[in-house]
Structure 1
Amino acid sequence: MAILPIYITGDPVLATPTQPVTTFDKELEKLVNDMYDTTVAAPGVGLAGPQVGVNKSLFVWIYADQDEAPERGAAINPELWIEPVDPTRDEPQDEGCLSFPGVYYPLARSPHAILRAQDVTGKHYEINATGWFARILQHEYDHLTGHLYIDRLAPRELAAAKAYRREHKWGKKHNTWLPGRDEA
């Protein structure tokens, strides 16, 4: 078991689109298991490669409150399809991020997502997700495209997030926190 440092907003790895995973081996399996351990220690419900300094197209989730998929899973080289957000239907809900720790902001997300990905052995699978699980998949997928959830906030919330970032002096390279040791 290894707990990995989590990169905080401002590090270039979080703003860089990821590269595909091409090798499915014991090293990948160890990384995924370490990401699971880090997610539990944080605690969180998901974690993407860039958040642990790995520019690879993968994320993990640990979320029991859904019927669409196993409680714990890895999405490698994922593709994600969502319905456009409808402001008359899709109410903003508070969302947080381990790479922007300690605060939550309201954000509307699509209530439905289709995930196509590979597992750690390279086997392809598909999940139709709804509700909060669909939100988790969208959040983690955003990390793979170089985006944090704060990039999608409405202007008022974005201004508050930027002030929070300045207050914490985030925005530099190699700024991380370690679950279980540092306060998020």
Structure 2
Amino acid sequence: MNLTILTYPDKRLKQKSKNVTKFDENIHKLLDAMNETMLLSNGIGLAAIQVNHPLNILILNIPDSEGNQPTENLMEIINPILIKKEGSTVYQEGCLSVPGFYEDIERYETITINYQDRDGNTKTLDADGLLSIAIQHEMDHLTGNLFIEKLSYARRKKFEKEYKKAIKEKRL
């Protein structure tokens, strides 16, 4: 089941997500549909809010060295909590909810999170590099924030102008 990805400036993207309390067949179906949607959209991460489900769920599948995203690399992260953050790094990010735009964003270099898997088991994950960046990007969605909100005022104004122009010219 392919889901529809909400795109900026859809106000539903601003919702704060709620914790998952029932780890049942409905959550499993949502996770499976999110994975299918993310892969069909050539994404590496997707938060449930991006498909209009305001739940603290995100999935990630960082491509391997050949650019493949095998199912065994899929990470399903439910109710994540950031427990440790260190360092700083800048990476050019994009977003399925802000198609066609990429910006350099500063994030923590390494993070540790606690989360639950699809069956409600509690896990801890240490992440660095692209995985750390992707988790932080998706966790921002869970609080109703998009990566473009991290831009400087001047760059954000430039983005708004470029985005409106792209919509008008039907490039998006």
Q: TM-score range by the shorter chain?
A: 0.7 to 0.9
Alignment counterpart, residue 79 of structure 1, candidates 69, 77, 81? 81
Give the aligned CA root-mean-square deviation in angstroms.
2.1
C-alpha displacement of 1:39: 0.8
Matched length:
164
Which residue type is aligned with residue 116 of structure 2?
A: Q
Task: Give 2:29's aligned residue.
Answer: 30
- Unpaired runs of 5+ in structure 1? 171-182
Aligned-partner Cα distance in 2 for 1:119–1:154: 35
Counterpart-to-counterpart distance in 1, 2:78 and 2:129: 22
Percent identity of paired positions between Structure 1 and Structure 2:
29
> Which residue identity is paired with 1:57?
N
User: What is the deviation of 1:42?
Assistant: 0.4
Cα deviation per residue 1:93-152 (whole Å; 9 max; x = unaligned)? 211000000110111111111121101100010100001110000000000000000011
The residue aligned with 1:11 is: 10
Question: Equivalent residue for 2:56?
Answer: 57
For 2:160 and 2:86, the matched residues in 1 are separated by: 26
3-state SS in 1 of match to 2:29: helix
Q: Which runs of 5+ in 2 are unaligned?
A: 66-71
- Could you tell me how far 1:167 is from its partner in structure 2? 2.1
* CA deviation vs aligned residue, 1:37-80 (integer Å, no higher than 9, x gap): 111100000000110000111110111449xxx62111111112
Cα separation, 1, equivalents of 2:165 and 2:152: 20
Does the residue aligned with 2:107 lie in a helix, a strand or coil? coil
> Is the counterpart of residue 102 in structure 1 residue 104 in structure 2?
no
Q: Which has the higher helix share?
A: 2
1:169 Cα offset (Å): 4.6
Scaled by the length of structure 1, what TM-score is found? 0.82
Query: How far does residue 81 in structure 1 lie from its aligned partner after superposition?
Result: 3.8
Q: What SS class does the counterpart of residue 108 from structure 1 fall into? A: strand
Residues 65 and 130 (structure 1 numbering): CA distance in 2 closer, same or farther, change over 3 Å?
A: farther
SS at structure 2 position matched to 1:83? strand
Contact 1:61 1:73 in 2 (8 A): yes
Which of 116, 120, 135 aligns to 2:114? It is 116
**Structure 1 residues 14, 82: closer, same or farther in 2, change over 3 A?**
farther
Alpha-carbon distance in 2 for matches of 1:20, 1:83 = 22
Q: Which has the higher contact order (CA 8 A, sep 6+)?
A: 1
Is 1:46–1:60's contact at 8 Å kept on the other side of the alignment? yes
TM-score (norm 2): 0.87
C-alpha change, 1:48 and 1:134, in structure 2 (3 Å) is: same
